[in-house]
Amino acid sequence: MSASRKPILTLNSGSSSLKFGVFANSGDDEELLLSGSAQGIGRDDGTLQIQAADGTTLVHREAILESQTEALQTIAASLQEYLHEAPIAVGHRIVHGGPHLREHQRITPQVLQTLDAAVHFAPLHIPSALQLVRQAQEIFSNATHIACFDTAFHRTMPPVAAQLPLPSDYFEEGVMRYGFHGLSYESIVHRLGSGLPERTVMAHLGNGGSVTAVFRGKSIDTSMGLTPTGGIVMGTRTGDLDPGVLLYLIRKETLGADALEALVNRSSGLAGYSNGESDMRALLQRRATGDAPATLAVDAFCLSVRKTIGAYAALMGGIDLLVFTGGIGEHSGDVRTRICDGLEFLGLTPDRITVVPAQEELQIARHCRTILQ
């Protein structure tokens, strides 16, 4: 097999999951060979699944996987059985690279050192990403390892969007709006190709969610900020919050940094409104029975997305296309309808609203193949 056809392994880690794909170049694009995921890492209901390109299940195991590194070891052992050639490259989705890593690139010792120094920008994401990269480098020691950053797509934002209303010294230190879900948005731009209109709003809605204004194929503003905590209401994250609330909690409740971080990232958002439930499907079922906290959670979520869409319509002078993606965006017609209810004045007829599945692993493989050339 020629180098241009050799397989590429992509790793896409979440807080309790590890998704992967194996791709080979077909000439026009990357072709999926295998895919799968380890779900429920650290829980007793965890699962591991591997599928062939046609969707046939090759591996299904009910297993407790204590960590992402253990999940990776289990995945690697399974791949030996079904992948007839070692991957030439391993592409890693990195949520946040800090101010100095804003482009997809080969992972070198210097890149790892820079990531280590950027931990304070994303303490929930970077340490686990670094651990997974180093583990993968040991397992796939002959492969080129490549970092693909979720923030890279948003580096085209103008200063008026990227710089926060703080003294400029902080901006120089890297305190700015970075934006996230960039690989998902990149995959949509690639998928739509010449059919991408000038003024597009994209909404990646899952347990984490964001909305992005895309003008002529470039990100010009996005709802998430310095971290993935800001923006719209999310499963367990607050989204945008008056900073005075945090000052109140520090002074009145004497909460420290760790307690505040846990509050705004793990027990707020939909879970905060509904007394603990963050799954949109469960909330919609409860809403249908008249459950008031669930109704409030669903309505607050949809309203926050709708307001952001409206803001980006004002930014771009209108919307030519609204794209939904992510788990909720792709699969919940009820949520999409509730979000769009009231946006008719923007001319958002059904033919200007579409669903495009997120293809982050495929987009990582594309970047890896390009970097290898």
CATH of the domain at 66: 3.30.420.40
β-pairing, 8-13 vs 89-94, is: parallel
Same domain membership, residue 209 and residue 141: no
The answer as to whether 181 is a domain residue is no
Domain boundary among 93, 116, 149: 149
Instruction: Please indicate, yes or no, if residue 370 is contained in any of the structural domains.
Output: no
**Is 180 inside any structural domain?**
no
The pair of structure tokens assigned to 347 is 């001319």
Flag whether 182 is in a domain: no
- Total structural domains in the chain? 2
The reported pLDDT for the residue numbered 313 is 98
Same domain? 107 vs 201? no
Give yes or no: 54 in active site. no
Domain shared by 227 and 94, yes or no: no
Q: 174 lies in a domain?
A: no
Are 13 and 128 contained in the same domain?
A: yes
**Looking at the structure, do residues 137 and 209 belong to the same domain, yes or no?**
no
Q: Which of 95, 123, 149 is the last residue of a domain?
A: 149
Regarding whether 244 and 117 lie in a shared domain, the answer is no
Output the CA torsion 317→322→323→328 (10° steps). Answer: 120
- Do residues 72 and 48 touch, judged by C-beta distance below 8 A? no
Domain with 94 in it: 8-149
Assigned token pair, 87: 């991957």
Identify whether residues 121 and 200 lie together within a single domain. Answer: no
**267 in a structural domain:** yes
In a domain, 328, yes or no: yes
Q: Kindly give the pairing relationship between strand 17-25 and strand 199-205.
A: unpaired
**Does the pTM of the predicted model rise above 0.75?**
yes
HEC string for the chain: CCCCCCCEEEEEECCCEEEEEEEEECCCCEEEEEEEEEECCCCCCCEEEEEECCCCEEEEEECCCCCHHHHHHHHHHHHHHHCCCCCCEEEEEECCCCCCCCCCEECCHHHHHHHHHCHHHCCCCHHHHHHHHHHHHHHCCCCEEEEEECCHHHHHCCHHHHECCCCHHHHHCCCECCCCCHHHHHHHHHHHHHHCCCEEEEEEECCCEEEEEEECCEEEEECCCCCCCCCCCCCCCCCCCCHHHHHHHHHHCCCCHHHHHHHHHHCCHHHHHCCCCCCHHHHHHHHHCCCHHHHHHHHHHHHHHHHHHHHHHHHHCCCCEEEEEHHHHHHCHHHHHHHHCCCHHHCCCHHHEEECCCCHHHHHHHHHHHHHC
Output the tens digit of pLDDT for each of the chain's 373 residues: 556 679 999 999 876 789 999 999 988 899 999 999 998 888 888 899 999 999 999 999 887 788 888 889 888 988 888 888 899 999 999 999 999 999 999 999 999 999 999 998 888 788 888 999 999 999 999 999 999 999 999 999 999 999 999 999 999 999 999 999 999 999 999 999 999 999 999 999 999 999 999 999 999 999 999 999 999 999 999 999 999 999 999 999 999 999 999 999 999 999 999 999 999 999 999 999 999 999 999 999 999 999 999 999 999 999 999 999 999 999 999 999 999 999 999 999 999 999 999 999 999 999 999 999 9
Buried b (16+ CB within 10 A) or exposed e, 269-295: bbbbbbeebbebeebbebbeeebebbb
Does 139 share its domain with 205?
no
Q: Give me the catalytic one of 45, 54, 116, 150.
A: 150
Residues 122, 229 share a domain: no
Last residue of a domain, one of 114, 149, 184: 149
Q: Output the six-digit token pair for 18.
A: 């590890």
- Would 372 be classed as within a structural domain? no
- Do 264 and 336 reside in the same domain of the chain? yes
Residues 226 and 138 in one domain: no
Do both 29 and 122 map to the same domain?
yes
pLDDT digits (tens, 9 = 90+) for 60-71: 988 778 888 888
